[in-house]
Amino acid sequence: MENVHLALEEDDLYSGYNDYNPTFDSEELENDVGFQQAVRTNHGRRPPSRMPMSSSMGRPMTGAVQDGAARPMTAVRAAGYTSSLTRGSTFDPLGQSRGPAPPLEAKSEETAEEKIKILEMKVNDLIEESCMAHSIGALQLALEKAKEAGRKERALVRQREQSGSGEHINLDLTYSVLLNLANQYANNEMYPEALNSYQVIVKNKMFSNAGRLKVNMANIYFKQKNYPKAIKFYRMALDQISNTHKELRIKIMQNIGVVFVRMGQYSDAITSFEHIMSESANIKTGFNLILCYYAIGDRERMKKAFLKLISVRLGIDDEDKYIPSNDDTSSDMVIEAIKNDKLHQMERDLKALAEKYIMTAAKLIAPAIETSFAAGFDWCVDMVKSSQYVELANDLEINKAITYLRQKDFKQAVETLKTFEKKDSRVKSAAATNLSFLYFLEKDFDQADRYADLAMNADRYNPAALINKGNTVFIKQDYEKAAEFYKEALRNDSSCTEALYNLGLTYKKLNRLEEALDCFLKLHAILRNCAQVMYQLAHLHELLEDPQQAIEWLMQVISVTPTDPQVLAKLGELHDAEGDKSQAFQYYYESFRYFPSNIDVIEWLGAYYIETQFCEKAIQYFERATLIQPTQVKWQLMVASCYRRSGNYQKALETYKDIHRKFPVNIECLRFLVRLCTDMGLKEVQEYATKLKKVEKMKEIREQRVKSGREGSARGRKEGREGSAGSAGDHSGSSTKGERLSAKMRSLPASSEPYEASSPKELDASYVDPLGPQTDRPKTGAKKRIEDDDFADEELGDDLLPE
């Protein structure tokens, strides 16, 4: 307390702050005589020095010359310069007079720590290169880099141990190397090696959080279809992950549920999926839960799960926020920038995925939750209308109609689609498009045309409606107008392949072959492996008299559909026309192997063997033709002829006798029977000769009647030109009668020459359109054969069909 000083009230706490040393008073310097005298003395004129003088200590004066060198005037000397050039110095700014520079000092050897750091950098670089190789799909290269990183990392550990710094091992680097190696093994489907690498990490207690890698191990067991072990490792991973990582735990539980579904244990899967829906509901889990309830046939829980599915929030903003307001220019620019960015694309993809799951779930459970399919679908539609996916209700109605089509209930499908006639334009256009297509399939072209017009009026920019309209006009053979509709569809959607295909066929009908070729070449650039397009290109080149190019395109068709018999037959026909019989035989034979009932192919092969003097081999082909067309005598005559040509006269005689029993008035058969019986000295020769004379006489009578009928017809035409209108009418009747008789006689199977007398070149193996009858033609995109006239109809609402 003695040292404590208490301030009295009369003491001034701020005294002394204005006191200062007068030495620092700059204002009084002008009146300070001593300071002014010092200033004048310091800045006075120096007396000029006429000769240098040395200082008392022997130091030369500034500018003095000593030993031939002048001392610089200042303490800092400029490089290469002196005070005077006349005193024996030379100008040498680079110092070249001093000789070469001394050699660099040798770098000392790297220390052990520096070597270790360099090796660590190499290991990190290898890991990075491995990951980059995997990102571009070079899986083998990624694995090699990962293995090399592992080898260098082990060398690094040994080097640390040798240098005595083993306690400073970089565990993070070791972990990275092992994890990358395990991942690359798994990517290359080397699952045992991947599992061993993961085990090394998991069993090492020095690695924290390594237990999470059991999820990777479980994924491998899942790929190997070892589901019990996959469940075991998923649960082990789940036990080692704390509740703070909620999202990761949810994903692992979802995997567990999927594995239970694969094992058929739907009750256990339902337990996992229900827990996820209660904790963190998502679209995929909700859909999987519906599938499980459907598998066990629980109607009520299916309904509840569907309600949960449509109540899941996606966390996506409305599309209205991307509509410019036109009030604020800066905000409009921001909206334009984010309208098509990756985040918005992700939102669109998520919404599309949700709609796909909801549509699929509705179609799946509709027949199961109610007594009828229609009632179940109506319930789903009502629930969707009251949810956030209200715009899906109309699409569900469209799918309801399509489901009726799959059930072949066309009446209900048409009635369902007709309910959309008073809906908004988009839905009305889609429904009318489908109705137009249905009526087109039923060949009710007037109704198809009507609904095509309705679809176009509702949405003129609907390419499907324009294609259907073009198809109805195409059927009426108004090809120019059809081409205009197809062109308009292409202007609305340049990627519409159906419109481009139909336009090419329309140009072909108009004989504008170059334009048709251009259309199909564009289409081929879009659909590289479409057999229909390549066939059309081949046919166009054939019409343009470029058979070599046609053959090349047909070879591409064969590379896509190697077992198409009609394309093989067409290749044989083209090679035959080019004179390459061996190649033609190869393709005709392949065609026969895949489809042994094509008469034209059979005829060509039989004629080929006859031409090459292998009549025995031709027999099997003509016998097959006999089975296909048993009422055609020419195939049986060819069989008998082959026996006769090969020298088997007994078999030929039996065949001719069999033909005579089936066709007793066939002249060729009787002629060969007479010839064979004569050559073989048989008694039946007289019998067959008598029958031959009778048949020939009957033939002469028929020919005379035909000739008289033709003469009467010619006379009637001549008199008709010269006579009155009345007589002309009478003679025209005679002419018609003669023509009917002539047609009747021409339809008889008799022939003046035996079939075998024809040259093999006359046996025309004509090409039959690959698609067969008109009623069997598929539309564009069908994986069948191609027909020349097959133009592509727009299929039922591609944008509304489920995947």
Q: Is the dihedral of CA 585, 587, 592, 593 positive or negative?
A: positive
Contact by Cβ (8 Å): 534, 557:
yes
What dihedral do alpha carbons 451, 453, 454, 459 form, nearest 10°? 130
Q: What does the pLDDT read at residue 523?
A: 93
Residue of 788, 772, 776, 784 whose CA lies nearest to 504 = 788
Ranges of the chain with pLDDT below 70: 1-29, 39, 41-99, 101, 104-110, 165-168, 317-322, 324-328, 421-425, 714-803
Buried b (16+ CB within 10 A) or exposed e, 327-360: eeeeeeeeeeeeeeeeebeebeeeeeebeebbbb
Residue of 448, 366, 371 whose CA lies nearest to 400 = 366
Contact by Cβ (8 Å): 741, 705:
yes
Q: Cβ–Cβ contacts within 10 Å for residue 748, how many?
A: 10
Phi/psi region, residue 100 (left: phi>0; alpha: psi -120 to 50; beta: rest), is beta
Which residue bears the tokens 């395990």?
182
Q: What does the pLDDT read at residue 721?
A: 53
Q: What does the pLDDT read at residue 19?
A: 62
Q: What does the pLDDT read at residue 1?
A: 41
**70, containing H or E segment:** strand 69-70
Q: Cβ–Cβ contacts within 10 Å for residue 457, how many?
A: 13
Give phi and psi for 70, each to the nearest 5. Answer: -85, 140
Which residue bears the tokens 């120096």?
46
Helix axis angle, 266-279 relative to 246-263, nearest 10°? 160
Q: What's at 462, amino acid-wise?
A: N
Q: Please, what is the Cα angle at 642 between 641 and 646, to 5 degrees?
A: 115
Angstrom distance (rounded) from CA 628 to CA 497: 40
Q: What does the pLDDT read at residue 79?
A: 53
Q: What does the pLDDT read at residue 566?
A: 93
Give phi and psi for 206, each to the nearest 5. Answer: -75, -15
Angstrom distance (rounded) from CA 236 to CA 221: 14
The model's pLDDT over 275-315, given as tens digits with 9 standing for 90+, comes to 999 988 889 999 999 999 999 988 899 999 999 998 888 87
Q: In the 8-state DSSP scheme, what is residue 69?
A: E
Q: What's at 792, amino acid-wise?
A: A
Angstrom distance (rounded) from CA 595 to CA 601: 9
Q: Cβ–Cβ contacts within 10 Å for residue 14, how many?
A: 6
Q: Is the dihedral of CA 54, 55, 59, 63 positive or negative?
A: negative
Contact by Cβ (8 Å): 638, 606:
yes
Q: What does the pLDDT read at residue 728?
A: 37
Helices (H), 442-512: 445-458, 463-475, 479-492, 497-509
**369, containing H or E segment:** helix 342-369
Q: What does the pLDDT read at residue 5?
A: 47
Helices (H), 629-648: 633-645
Tokens of 173: 């680097």
SS3 content of the chain, % helix, strand, coil (to 5): 70, 0, 30
